[in-house]
Amino acid sequence: MFRLIDAVERRPQAAFAAFLALHSVLWTALPAILYLNLPLDLIEALTYGREWQLGSDKHPPLPWWMVEIMYRAFGVDTAYYALAQFVVVVAFIAVWKTARPLVGATGALVAILIIDGLHYFNFTAAKFNHDVIQLPFWALAGFAFHAGLRRGRLGHWILLGAALGCALWAKYFVVVLAAPLLVFTLVDREARSRLAGQGPWVAAAVALVIMALHLIWLVQNDFLPYHSVEARALPVRGPFDHLLHPVEFLGGQLFFILPALLIAAPLVWPQSKDTPTAAADAFDRRIVTLLAFGPALAVFALSLVTGRGTVTMWGYPLWLFLGLWIVLVAPAALDRARLIRIGALWAAVFTILAIAFVADYTVLPRIDHRYRAAFYPGDALAAALTQRFEAATGRAPAYIIASMWNGGNVAHYSGLHPQPRVLIDGLPRRAPWIDLHDLRTRGAALVWTDGDLNSLPESFAAVAPGAEVGAPFALPFRRGEKVLRVGWAVLRPQAP
C-alpha cells in the first residue's frame, strides 16, 4: 500500500490514467458478460437510432445516433458498454482538468475518486442512455465556464457554447445547468465583468447554432416531446406536493451520494492543525460551488414551484464537481495518511459496487425472482417470430408492429440486414417515419405480450386490418423461472 501511495504522490497523472483504464475495462466487461439481453435503453436506442430523425416523441436523438453508429461500426453488443465508459472517462478528464490548477494533481485525483463512489458512473452507466450521454457535455461545460471566467480565452467560451449546444441534443435537462450559469454570470460581480467582452456572447451564439436544427424541429412538431412528458407526469395533488416532492428529490440524491461522502471522510476527520494550501481564490470557490450545487438547486426550485415529482435518476450529471468542491473546502491538508485512507475507502466502495453488480445478475435472481430485462428472451422471440412470418409469407419481415421493447428485441436479434423497422405500439404518431402504405405492401409481423393473446390489440388492428392471428406460445427467460407468453399475428403482403 505504501509503495502504491508513493507512486501516486510521485506520478499522480499516471495514477489517474491507471484509474481510468481500470474503471473503463471493468465496467465494460461486467455488463458484457452478465447481460444476456440488451437492457431497455439500448434496445430503445437501436429502435429509434436507425431512423436518423431530428427528434422523437420522447427525447432528443443524440445517444440513439451514437448507438447506431457503434452498431454499424462494430456490430457487437460490447461496443455499447464501451461507449458508455468512454463518455464517463471524457467526463472524468474534464473534471480533472478543472481541478488540477485549483488543488494540484493529487487533489484532482482525489476529487475523481470521490465522485467514482456514485453509482451513476459505474453500476448504472452500463445502460447507455440520455442520462449517461449528458456526463461529458456537462463536465466540459463546467470546465469551459470556469476557464472562460478565469482566463477569458475565446476558445474556452466556444467550448462552453459547443458543450451546452450538444447537451440539448442529449437531453432537455440541460436547462437546469444553463440557468444557474446564466444567473451566476449576471449576479456575481467578477463574472459579470466578462459580459463586456465577446466571450459569453460567442458562447451563446455557438450554442444556438448547434441547437438550431433541433429547435426548428421542435417548433415544426408542436414541441411533441413536451406534450409526451406532460401526459406522463404525475398531477399535483395539492399544496403539500410543493414541499414533499423537492424533499424527496434531495433525500434520494443524499442516499446516492453517501458512498462518495464516505470516500471523502478522511478530508474532514480526524481534525488537523495543518490547513491546505490551494491555488484557488474566492472567485474560484464561488464558481466551483455553483458547478457542484447550482443544477441540483435548480431542480429543487423547479419542483418547489411546480409541485411536480422528480426522478432520482436525474442525478446523473448533477454531482460531477462535488468531489472538487469537497477537496477545495476541506479543512485539513491532503497528507499521506489521509491519502492512504481515501485510497482504501475508494477501493472498498469500488469493489463493493462491482460485487453488487455481479450478485444482482447471478445470485439475487435465484432469491428475489425479480424481472430483469437482461434475462429477456429477445433472441428466442426474434427467431420464433421471424420463422413464423417466413413460413406464412415466404419472406423475411420488413416491419414489426409491437411495443418498443418487443419490437426492438425482434429487430435487433433477428439477424436480418437491414433490420425490420418497428411501428411502435401500432401508433403512427409514435413512429411518423413509417410509411403505412409500404408497410401494408410488404407485410408485417405483429407481436404483443399483454392482454388477450388470442386477439389483436386495438391499436394493432387499426393499422393492420386483416392480420392473421396465430396460436400463442411461451418462451422461457434466459435465466430464472419466468416465462414470456406471446401473442402474434401476420399481416400478409398486399398488392399495391
Short-list 393, 436, 404, 406, CA closest to 57: 404
Residue pLDDT, tens place only, 173-204: 999 999 999 999 999 999 999 999 999 999 99
Q: Are strands 483-491 and 399-402 parallel, antiparallel or unpaired?
A: unpaired
Please indicate, yes or no, whether residues 306 and 382 belong to a single structural domain of this protein. no
Q: Is residue 285 domain-shared with residue 421, that is, in the same domain?
A: no
Look at residue 476 and give its three-state secondary structure: strand
Give residue 155's pLDDT.
Answer: 95
Do 338 and 325 touch, CB atoms closer than 8 A?
no
Residues 6+ apart with CB under 8 A from 411: 46, 47, 382, 400, 419, 420, 421, 422
Q: Are residues 32 and 146 in the same domain?
A: yes
Tell me which DSSP letter residue 312 carries.
Answer: G
pLDDT value of residue 358 = 96
378-400 pLDDT, tens per residue?
999 999 999 999 999 999 999 99
Q: Is residue 22 part of a domain?
A: yes
Q: What is the pLDDT of residue 19?
A: 95
Please give the pLDDT value at position 8.
Answer: 63
Same-domain pairing of 324 and 398: no
Residue 338's nearest CA partner among 107, 98, 168 is: 107
Single-letter code of the amino acid located at 289: T
Give the three cell numbers for residue 148.
472562460
pLDDT at 2 over 60: no
Torsion angles phi and psi, residue 272, rounded to 5: -145, 150
Distance set, CA 204 to CA 182, 194, 219 (Å):
10, 13, 20
**278 within some domain:** yes
| Same domain, residue pair 309 and 271 | yes
DSSP 152: -
Q: How many domains does the chain have?
A: 2
Last residue of a domain, one of 362, 388, 423: 362
| pLDDT for position 440 | 95
Q: Are residues 335 and 406 in the same domain?
A: no
The better pLDDT of the pair 55, 152 is held by 55
Residue range 456-472, pLDDT digits in tens: 999 999 999 999 999 99
What is the rounded distance in angstroms from the CA atom of residue 480 to the CA atom of residue 474? 15
Please tell me whether residues 388 and 345 are part of one structural domain: no
- For residue 474, the surrounding DSSP H or E stretch is strand 473-476
Q: Report which DSSP code applies to 428.
A: G
Q: What cell was used for 94?
A: 474534464
Q: Does 130 map to a domain?
A: yes
**The domain boundary residue, chosen from 308, 333, 362:** 362
- Residue 369 within a domain: no
User: Is residue 496 one of the residues assigned to a domain?
Assistant: no
Q: Within a domain: residue 51?
A: yes
Task: Note whether residue 418 is domain-resident.
Answer: yes
Whole-number pLDDT of residue 494 = 87
**Region 66-89: what's the mean pLDDT?**
96
Number of C-alpha atoms within 13 angstroms, CB side, residue 128? 32
The answer to whether residues 471 and 453 touch, using CB atoms and an 8 Å cutoff, is no
pLDDT at site 425: 95
Domain shared by 177 and 274, yes or no: yes
Residue 455's domain spans which residues?
Answer: 376-491
**Residue 36 DSSP symbol:** S
Judgement on whether residues 401 and 309 belong to the same structural domain of the protein: no
The CA distance from 29 to 45, in Å, is 20
- Which single residue is written with the C-alpha cell 403505412? 436
Q: Is residue 194 part of a domain?
A: yes
Residue finishing a domain among 304, 339, 362: 362
Residues 328, 400 share a domain: no
Same domain, 252 and 171: yes
Q: Are residues 352 and 459 in the same domain?
A: no
